[in-house]
Chain A
Amino acid sequence: MKTTAEKVQLALGIGLIPIAVALAVAAIAMLLNKPEAFAQHLVNGLTLGGLFALIALGYTMVYGIVELINFAHGEVFMLGSFLGLIAVQVLFGWDITNIWIVLPVATVISMIGCAAVGVSLDSIAYKPLRRNPTWGAVGAAAVSFVGLTMVLRAGMEGQMSLGRVGGAVILIAFAWAAFALDERNPSPPRKTPRINALLSAIGMSILLQNLVRIAVGSDTQTFPQMDSFTGLPATSFTMPVGAGGATIEVLYIEVFTIASAVLLMVLLDQLVNRTNLGKGMRAISQDPEAAMMLGIPVNRVITMTFVIGSALAAAAGILHGLKYGGVKFIDGFIIGLKAFIAAVLGGIGNIRGAMLGGFVLGLSETIVVATMEYCWLAIGRLTGSPDTWPQAEFFDYKDVIAFLILVVVLTFRPWGLLGTPEVDKV
């Protein structure tokens, strides 16, 4: 005897089969007839997916370990973009424009800054909910945000001013102090309602957004584009697609984005599966109390989780700035939300799931939408009167389509693509 839910699933599944078949056929037809458009959509989707995946990792890692949805993570991404921009401008000010020097240096600086922000964020907003607060640590974290404001505040022209260096020192030193002070906190973990942590996260998100708005201003800040760097022969290269001699222009930044996303993910995957730290993370995600009894430094591992997640967001922030050419205080909101959805799609708490979810979401917004429109127009041609066939503006509804895919996936696999059913933490 089947339950109603199972019947609904079955009906939906049978209903979806013809749609899926039609889309698959349309995708192949599009690949053959319009190889340029198909390849372009694929590149667009993979780039977008890489960005989503990098940010999604931060959500999923924190959730996997402390069962908290860190909604301020999108803001860390936005800060990463700003800190990277400042670093690039400072280097440009010193006439260092070689991309192979500037980008790694800026990325490392931004990663360190964001890691400090992530640690402070945890100290100020989440740790006091996990156990009795250490007020010294909360205070130190607050001071580190003052340092962050000083870094951002010192004008966006990118001089290496005393205020900026001082701000950076304060940011990092006090974030470290917050972590160190809390290490000695002897109080045992406590359970607070999950909604408290969620509200705390949303509050921090609003706080960080407005901190940047006040420090920098609400206008878009120009991010240097690939043509202002040296060390690359051009900003794009021509890639042949298909057999008919068709080509598309691929931007180096798109290659960078996809390549660094994949590289960072491989590194992270190795870290989680091969190192002691990774072992600790996996142990805590299974059972924090048992992990503590076995001598795993739970606090330190949780802090490291925030550090790694924030550093990945910082990398995404720089790539995002380079790709789009501008950064604004509100930028973390929409992309943060989408990355969170990517994490859910892949199975929240599962690291490989977040990577997969990011790419699935990125491709849904581009190539799946394009295929749907192609399919729709093809049906129009089959009816014999393509001129009277209603125009469907699929691209107007790319977000709706991406979310529909999410709904369908979660109907069949409520735990996400790679999540495991027994880890029912929501």
Chain B
Amino acid sequence: MVMCVRVKVRYFARFRDIAGVSEEEFDIPDDAKVKDLIELIKKKHPKFNDEIFEQNEEADVNVSKNGRYVDFDEELREGDIIALFPPVSGG
């Protein structure tokens, strides 16, 4: 039996406009990685697929876990806070 873990996903800037929410929770298998979560997000929000992943390199999508940049192979654990956001533009 596959165990599930629950993670919180936060969206920022234009990605929040695309998701239509600023945060939501996902139940994922406990061996899931960031890239598996991204597949679930694309299913739930087809606009992500059309407007972000179809047209851009992965480099244009930033992912953080608990406040630190991670790559798409990062493993996820119960309670992790994942954020998805476009390239930053502070300063």
Q: Do the two chains bind?
A: no
